[in-house]
Structure 1
């Protein structure tokens, strides 16, 4: 995913200023695609320069309200439906897990226990968000809830997998110690 497409997607629901978009971004997308204020405003300028959005209204103190253009809608549609997702080609957690043999088994187990705790904590945050939301039948509610549910299920799986991996390391450590004692 790119910030460009995230902003086009938010604007496809209606016009918004950079401030509005940053607020919507923080309340909806920050868990899957975080961005800073400077990144959002810089990307809005690039999108406008590319003709994918335009300034719909200018307000006091230079406040600009943007709306997506037909070209922007087509770019979003193309990206959503025709560009294959990159998926999980890079995952720094799994790279670290793969390389955990370079540290002591106890350290590796502690790494996995931390991963489980972080996943449980994030799952609790997602669950609280879900319970606090007044879900409707508008597009942001429907697809936002689908995204949030994925986060809840994914973090549950991460916690379960991390606990399983901790057990696997413990079993390998015990077996190695038994072999050393022989």
Structure 2
């Protein structure tokens, strides 16, 4: 996945200016799917504009540009969305730390895995709140249903990660 595809997806939903895109990125994708700040978003918008994937559909106050997806941009988003999964290299800090767990002594192992379980639980609870908020808005705005799919995945993912970390703690205790 690339920042380009994330931006195309957000713009395919509704035309936005760079500021609104950055805020929406922070409130929906950052921390769960993809992280990027405005220092990355604005240059990528310029490249996408040059590549014909987006266009300026309106200009706001003080020269702010509102971007929308072009037909080639929609084609590129569709191509990426339907491309085989797993093209990007896997990166999962949680799994990497567990893979390297043997580098720590037992008390540090317990501390790390306990922190991982707690952090995962916090994220699962946060996303539970997001799911409830989406469910409140879904009857009046059907686009929220698609957001719910991602939020529900995140909630279940972090719940699984929490439960798995607790299982790891049990296994560590059995080896003492």
| TM superposition score normalised by structure 1 | 0.88
Residues 105 and 170 in structure 1, CA contact (< 8 A), matched pair in contact too: no
Whole-angstrom distance in 2 between the partners of 1:88 and 1:108: 27
Moved more, 51-60 or 156-165: 51-60
Which sections of structure 1, spanning at least 5 residues, go unmatched? Answer: 175-182
State the SS of the aligned residue for 1:129.
helix
Residue aligning to 1:167: 170
Q: Deviation string for 1:80-112 (max 9, x for gaps)?
A: 012433477232222221222121111101111
**Greater mean deviation of Cα atoms: 13-22 or 65-74:** 13-22
Give 1:130 shift: 1.7
Q: Match of 1:27?
A: 27
Say yes or no: does 1:44 pair with 2:26: no
Q: 1:140/1:155 Cα in 2 relative to 1: closer, same or farther (>3 Å)?
A: same
Q: 1:33 to 1:137 in 2, by over 3 A?
A: farther
Q: The residue matched to 1:51 in structure 2 has which SS?
A: coil
SS at match of 1:12: helix
Q: Give the gaps of 5 or more residues in structure 2.
A: none
Partner of 2:153: 150
Q: Aligned ranges for residues 46-61 of structure 1 at < 5 Å? A: 46-61=47-62
SS in 2 for 1:155: helix
Is residue 2:78 matched to residue 1:77? Answer: yes
CA contact under 8 A between 1:116 and 1:160: conserved in structure 2? yes
Structure 1 residues 87 and 164: CA distance shift in structure 2, 3 A: farther
The range that moved more, 86-95 or 144-153, is 86-95
Residues 115-124 or 21-30, more deviating: 21-30
Aligned with 2:55: secondary structure? strand
CA RMSD, aligned part only?
Answer: 1.7
Aligned equivalents of 2:86, 2:74: Cα separation in 1: 18
Q: Using a 3 Å threshold, how does the CA distance of structure 1 residues 165 and 149 change in structure 2: closer, same or farther?
A: same
Secondary structure, counterpart of 2:67 in structure 1: strand
TM-score where L is the length of structure 2: 0.90
How many aligned residue pairs are there?
A: 173
| Residue aligned with 2:13, SS | coil
